Structure 1
């Protein structure tokens, strides 16, 4: 392996364009240093800091951070300008190598029309650049992230747009919606988030969101104590919803959903979706599922009007209820605890379990 590295470096030295006059000449010692760097990593390191500022005009509404090659923390502030602080760790053969990398490392802010952007310049000679960014922005601006894999924290700005974003994400304190497309990673959204997002894989967790609208494929979704409506179009998603503050609507194909502390209207229309729902308060519920199992627990107090129908499957109901059988269809229609909102459950090909709070 050493021989191949030396041969490769030697061929490069022979065939490469002429170097500047002040560049180091060819030597066997330098060849050995370069070979050692390939096996053992950089022999020298240096931390470099850069800053840039820009006062955005009134027409600027978005700070575009697509393509940023490292972790970023964005904070909305009352200051009138955008401030970017960059901390980078350089690695190279020696101090001379680091000097060249440091000279090439630049950062700038520029604006055009309604957008401001961060521009980078660097030459890391094929090595991975390790950097972190902290950005203060006026609260009135939205932020855009994407086209790269990184981690990000965004707080206190006017909204967030994700452009094919992949990476871990933490968002809180936004005054506008989160929109766009999230590809992978773990995303966490704090109080009051308005989410209007398309997701592909990864995991999304929301605590006390204002509203949720998701188009999700192969995504893990946790929603805790939503303050408003939840609408999810899903494809093999894994959903866990605990506590509701508005109506819940689920459509799609495949996956699982667990609902706890359901206190608002629920509508599910899906195929191959495993459903486990506990109704906390008598509310209208409509569940229509094909080719899977459905488990529904009725409210502990209060009444509902119950309509259940299972075709080509198995129906299990609490003691005291006797299904009517007609061919391959089993059904129950009854008033539970004096009646109330309609709970309508329909299943084709699967097992339906309807439980009282005693677990029967």
Structure 2
């Protein structure tokens, strides 16, 4: 009774519409419609970033040879009747603007009725970088000049970037295709990389899968769960808590951590340094080629292959010996936990 007058073109009050709204509340929408909106923008040479940080809902971004940005929005509307859908459709806008180095996309609705479900497809000049924000959503990004994540939360698929992935990823499942360069902070969720060019992560409580990396891997972790299969450059892991499984290690390996469970299979003779406190370490030596083995366990249990024995001095057990004629140094240090060294036969 005290509300302002409705717009002249809005449906008026009636008892029938009041009943329809009540039915929609209890039984769900009675009418549905899909509508499309498009927008284009020719960005100047000064524009380097497309900002999508305010989007909510699925978005697909593809880099192309075109000179302009093209946006297509598909909106699924649900309401009590045709008049309700007409009002919702009229309120939807696609705003694509540019200011300085940034082009920005906003999807606007005046808030009347229930919020539509949006799905957005965007084609952009491949020279542009894309920014995704903290709105929970799902996104596919491919063929652009880089990706910046501003506390991004949601599922993500990334392929064929020519620049790095930077920023902060919070939750969901993220997959990165061949050639990805990551310089990323993560908190929660799961990150999977196949044949990345290089990986630099600062990760907290994140599941990390890296397959056949082509370059270096550096991870500073806090209770992360890591699985690395195949290396194309040096690997360095530091932090506290969590687990790591390494397979087919063929490049220099350094692990310096506390409360990190380590299971490492060294595929080729490479310099290896593993230093862990308050957890267990399992290391398999290369099946071919020699190494210089140097192991120290303090206040823990040391298990060695047949034919090897440790020197015991108080709480400390040590062994320093060439294996298969010697080679790169494999230095293993453990305080409080169980160290198991597996020989060339896997025992």
Please name the residue that 2:284 is paired with: 297
Unaligned runs of 5+ in 2: none
Q: How does 1:86-235 map to 2 (within 5 A)?
A: 86-235=73-222
- SS of 1:168's equivalent in the other structure is strand
> Against the structure 1 CA distance between its residues 332 and 311, is the aligned structure 2 distance closer, same or farther, given a 3 Å change threshold?
same
| Aligned counterpart for 1:241 among listed residues 193, 214, 228 | 228
Q: How does 1:244-255 map to 2 (within 5 A)?
A: 244-255=231-242
- SS of 1:234's equivalent in the other structure is strand
* Structure 2: distance between partners of 1:224 and 1:154: 20
Q: CA deviation at 1:169?
A: 0.2
For residues 134-162 of structure 1, the C-alpha deviation after alignment (integer angstroms, 9 at most, x for no partner) is: 10000100000012011000000000000
Whether the aligned pair in 1 keeps the contact of 2:179 and 2:196 (CA below 8 Å) is yes
Does 2:49 match 1:62? yes
* Structure 2: distance between partners of 1:79 and 1:23: 41
Q: CA deviation at 1:357?
A: 3.4
* Structure 1: distance between partners of 2:178 and 2:7: 57
Please name the residue that 1:9 is paired with: none
Please name the residue that 1:15 is paired with: 2
Please name the residue that 2:63 is paired with: 76
Please name the residue that 2:35 is paired with: 48
Q: CA deviation at 1:125?
A: 3.0
Whether the aligned pair in 1 keeps the contact of 2:84 and 2:113 (CA below 8 Å) is no
For residues 22-44 of structure 1, the C-alpha deviation after alignment (integer angstroms, 9 at most, x for no partner) is: 54444332222111111122111
Q: How many matched pairs?
A: 347
Q: CA deviation at 1:124?
A: 4.9
Deviates more, 1:128-137 or 1:235-244: 128-137
Q: CA deviation at 1:295?
A: 0.1
Q: How does 1:237-316 map to 2 (within 5 A)?
A: 237-316=224-303
TM-score of the superposed pair, with normalisation by structure 2: 0.98
Please name the residue that 1:356 is paired with: 343
* Structure 2: distance between partners of 1:22 and 1:141: 41
Root-mean-square deviation (CA), in Å?
1.0
> Against the structure 1 CA distance between its residues 356 and 290, is the aligned structure 2 distance closer, same or farther, given a 3 Å change threshold?
same
* Structure 2: distance between partners of 1:94 and 1:172: 42
* Structure 2: distance between partners of 1:118 and 1:50: 13
Q: CA deviation at 1:17?
A: 2.4
Please name the residue that 1:328 is paired with: 315
* Structure 2: distance between partners of 1:36 and 1:216: 48
Whether the aligned pair in 1 keeps the contact of 2:96 and 2:103 (CA below 8 Å) is yes
Unaligned runs of 5+ in 1: 1-13
For residues 77-132 of structure 1, the C-alpha deviation after alignment (integer angstroms, 9 at most, x for no partner) is: 00000000111111111111111111111112110000001122213535232011
For residues 212-254 of structure 1, the C-alpha deviation after alignment (integer angstroms, 9 at most, x for no partner) is: 0000000000000000000000000000000000000000000
